[in-house]
Copies of this chain bind each other. A is one copy, B any other.
Amino acid sequence: MNQPQPHARNATEPDAATPDTQPAREARRAPGGFPVVGIIGGGQLARMCAAPAAELALTLSVFAESDDAAAALVVPHAPVGDYRDAEQVREWARGCDVVTFDHEHVPADVLAALEADGVALHPRPSALRFAQDKLAMRQRLSDLDVPCPAWAPVSTSDELSAFGEQHGWPLVLKTPTGGYDGKGVMLVRTPDDADAWFAQADGAPLLAEEAVAFEREIAVMIARSPSGQVAVWPVVETVQVDGICTEVLAPAPDLSDDAAERITSAAITIARELDVTGVMAVELFDVGGGEFVVNELAMRPHNSGHWSMDGSVTGQFEQHLRAVLDLPLGDTRARAPWTVMGNVLGGEYEELYPTYKHLMARDPGLKIHLYGKGVRPGRKIGHVNVFGDDLVGLRARARHACDYLQGTVTE
């Protein structure tokens, strides 16, 4: 890995090191010198890159989980493979000029193999690590004096008890890797609550954090290019129910300019010091009095940035493509005084097409974004955006649209 080999772009001959069982069909490029952006993972984040990629004449190549993955339905070049299989991923990456991610679950050995091949990965594994491993993230942010909840690695029930004695009960216990949407996070009221997790961790440390008494959750999205250019969107409020984001208000209401500036500044520090490339979400707790602590980092387009697709001059998916290609970044200003995003969760209705007709008739200004996914109760299957001057009215419109698509209201 210390002597990276040149990355063979546009290779048509089989690589001696790679079995020729999966001939790499190349994605078809637009003429004019435009690159191929590879995305590992075919979920909705990859899917939503398709529109800005087409506008900019960029070609996407999606390494998909299945041929009915959200992105595979709308991207012509979406070979199916296993992102845990380094050889499959390496073979595919030979046809890409840059590789980025739909999710943060690509194993370290696969990332290392790609890096050794000289593939341009963004974010780089050295940065991505801090989004994949919450213990590493907490250590690094603390070193940078970015406000965090009190935290400690805990490997035993005794260590957990000691942390609880110091910082109070209940506390929050997290698996350092693999969690999302409330999974891998537990509110621990007594040390016994964590017995099963410690048994499963088998000696590996878990992350204990104080249960922060926050007033609300907020988030900020930032883009950073390999050249070091950064662009930050307005700070937003994220409303969570049962650990899942249901609503985003952009900008965050009643946030002082001073607090917004300090949050933006923290995001820039994190992006720069962790050498983030691409877009990153910084999720925070607003603890009142203009103070905040960082909750999570995500180094990819993020739910808290979906509002930007209709609400900002440059949406997060366009910006992510620009950032990973080291193109100059776009204007992140809001286009309307308020934009409200509502997440559409699966409900009882499987037939969404007849359902959304009614929404279109009721609200001609509603921007519907569906992911092409089958309905399962609670699954994120899309989102809606509305924008305008009246925050209360916008929230009611977004809420109604989501409830109607979920089937929890019927008119």
Chain A positions near chain B (C-beta within 8 angstroms): 28, 30-35, 47-48, 50-51, 53-57, 59, 67-68, 72-76, 78, 231, 313-314, 322, 327-331, 333, 335-336, 350-354, 356-357, 360-361, 364-365, 367-375, 382
Contact = CB atoms under 8 A, between A and B. Distances in A.
Nearest to A359: B328
Given A33-B353, A34-B352, A50-B50, 11 more contacts: A31-B374, A32-B351, A51-B54, A54-B372, A55-B369, A56-B368, A57-B352, A313-B364, A314-B364, A329-B360, A335-B336
A199 B367 CA distance: 53
A364 B328 contact: yes
Contacts of A35: 353
A386 to B, nearest CB: 10
Contacts of A51: 50-51, 54-55
Nearest to A47: B54
A368 B32 contact: no
A322 B361 CA distance: 11
B33 A328 contact: no
A365 B371 CA distance: 27
A370 B57 contact: yes
A34 B76 contact: no
A59 B73 contact: yes
B329 A364 contact: yes
A162 to B, nearest CB: 50
Nearest to A346: B32
A370 to B, nearest CB: 4
Contacts of A327: 357, 360
B74 A365 contact: no
A353 B34 contact: yes
9 contacts: A28-B67, A32-B351, A47-B54, A48-B54, A55-B370, A56-B356, A56-B368, A322-B360, A328-B360
Given A35-B353, A54-B50, A360-B322, A30 B370 contact: yes
A367 B375 CA distance: 34
A313 B76 CA distance: 28
Contacts of A375: 31-32
Contacts of A57: 352-353, 370-372, 382
Contacts of A370: 30, 32, 55-57
